[in-house]
């Protein structure tokens, strides 16, 4: 009769049927909440370009991580916002610096109920906003920066980080940090390597979130957006240096790269749904152009479908409450 013998719509007929055959799911345990803590803050400070996201005080940070743990979120990633900056980012190495204090606060609040991760980078702490110390030519000195990363990693492990997240894209960073952690007796502290991190326009709101002092750009160390094979080279290097997990950042503009990394990696793969991705969706929602909940879940599903085992997202706690 000319009618189709195959009818895929049969498996889309009811919510129960669609749920039964769904190929990809998003669970609270797969989500990680990035959080900012501001030195000296007595109450949360709103971030104008990221509606709903704040720079936390120590007290509000404790409350928010407890809420995340109760929602079943898998982990948190902490970023420090110091009051002062200098050329070498010395606040990152201070045991009583904002990030290390925050790590101790969070571990005392939730213990091992969720995975506590820390951003291991100097950009929040330097007065030039770059991810390392500058050489005489004004470019980031890779090897001098590695020495500081090693010390920073040990301080973060001592403060309670389960995973440290080197995000500066310095050559050799994972290996140097792994050696430093092991030498200091922190053999159980893992490394979430920012293996693939592109020089992206989508980082704009994040720079407000951390009060970035950046002048210039980071194109000499972050990756070019047109390159995909390079990501696999970075993956091979980080795995060889001892990465326990690897990450692709940003997420939505690089789902093809995420899929290639996920196919090649033999460790868990994370993807970071970054500030600009968050901001553009919230802006579209505020204008009445998108259904907020459906859009958020659709983007999270797309990241999972591309191969991410873990998704860092500013909606982690909220989305977790919907999922369960």
Say how far apart CA 74 and CA 320 lie, in whole Å.
10
Q: How many CA atoms lie within 13 A of 46 on its CB side?
A: 5
The answer to whether 41 and 102 have CB atoms below 8 angstroms apart is no
**Among 41, 166, 151, 167, residue whose Cα is nearest residue 105:** 41
In the DSSP assignment, the letter for residue 224 is P
CA-to-CA distance for 46 and 29, rounded, in angstroms? 27
Cα(146)–Cα(144) distance, integer angstroms? 5
Structure tokens at 258: 């995420």
Token pair, residue 262, equals 């996920």
Catalytic residue among 162, 178, 197, 304: 197
Assess whether 197 carries a catalytic annotation: yes
DSSP string, 176-192: HHHHHHHHTT-TT-EEE
Half-sphere exposure of 45 (CA within 13 A, CB side): 15
User: What is the maximum span of the chain, computed from C-alpha positions, in angstroms?
Assistant: 79
Count of CA atoms in the C-beta half-sphere (13 A) of 215: 7
* Coil/strand/helix, residue 261: helix
Measured distance CA(294)–CA(274) in Å, rounded: 18
- 320 touches 71 (CB < 8 A): yes
Burial class from Cβ neighbours inside 10 Å (0-12, 13-18, 19+) for residue 108 reads exposed
The answer to whether 63 is a known catalytic residue is no
- Active-site pick, 58, 62, 85, 249: 249
The catalytic residue positions are 197, 249
């Amino acid at each position: 009769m000319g009618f189709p013998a195959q009818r895929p719509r049969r498996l889309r007929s009811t919510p129960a049927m669609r749920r039964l055959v769904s190929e990809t799911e998003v669970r609270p345990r797969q989500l990680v909440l990035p959080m900012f803590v501001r030195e000296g803050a007595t109450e949360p400070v709103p971030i104008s370009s990221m509606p709903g996201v704040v720079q936390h005080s120590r007290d509000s940070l404790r409350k928010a991580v407890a809420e995340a743990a109760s929602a079943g979120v898998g982990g948190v990633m902490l970023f420090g916002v110091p009051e002062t900056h200098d050329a070498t980012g010395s606040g990152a190495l201070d045991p009583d610096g904002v990030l290390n204090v925050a790590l101790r606060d969070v571990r005392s609040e939730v213990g091992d109920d969720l995975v506590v991760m820390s951003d291991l980078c100097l950009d929040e702490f330097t007065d030039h906003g770059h991810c390392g110390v500058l050489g005489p030519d004004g470019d980031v000195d890779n090897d001098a920066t590695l020495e500081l990363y090693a010390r920073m990693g040990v301080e973060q492990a001592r403060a309670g980080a389960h995973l440290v997240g080197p995000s500066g894209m310095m050559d050799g960073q994972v290996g140097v940090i792994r050696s430093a952690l092991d030498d200091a007796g922190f053999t159980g502290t893992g490394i979430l390597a920012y293996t693939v991190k592109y020089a992206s326009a989508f980082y704009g709101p994040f720079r407000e979130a951390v009060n970035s002092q950046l002048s210039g750009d980071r194109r000499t160390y972050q990756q070019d957006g047109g390159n995909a094979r390079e990501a696999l080279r970075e993956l091979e290097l980080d795995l060889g240096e001892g990465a326990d997990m690897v990450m692709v950042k940003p997420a939505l503009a690089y789902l093809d790269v995420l899929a290639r990394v996920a196919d090649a990696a033999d460790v868990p793969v994370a993807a970071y749904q970054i500030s600009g991705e968050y901001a553009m969706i919230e802006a579209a929602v505020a204008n009445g152009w998108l259904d907020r909940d459906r859009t958020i879940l659709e983007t999270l599903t797309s990241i999972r479908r591309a191969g991410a085992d873990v998704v860092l997202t500013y909606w982690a706690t909220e989305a977790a409450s919907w999922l369960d």
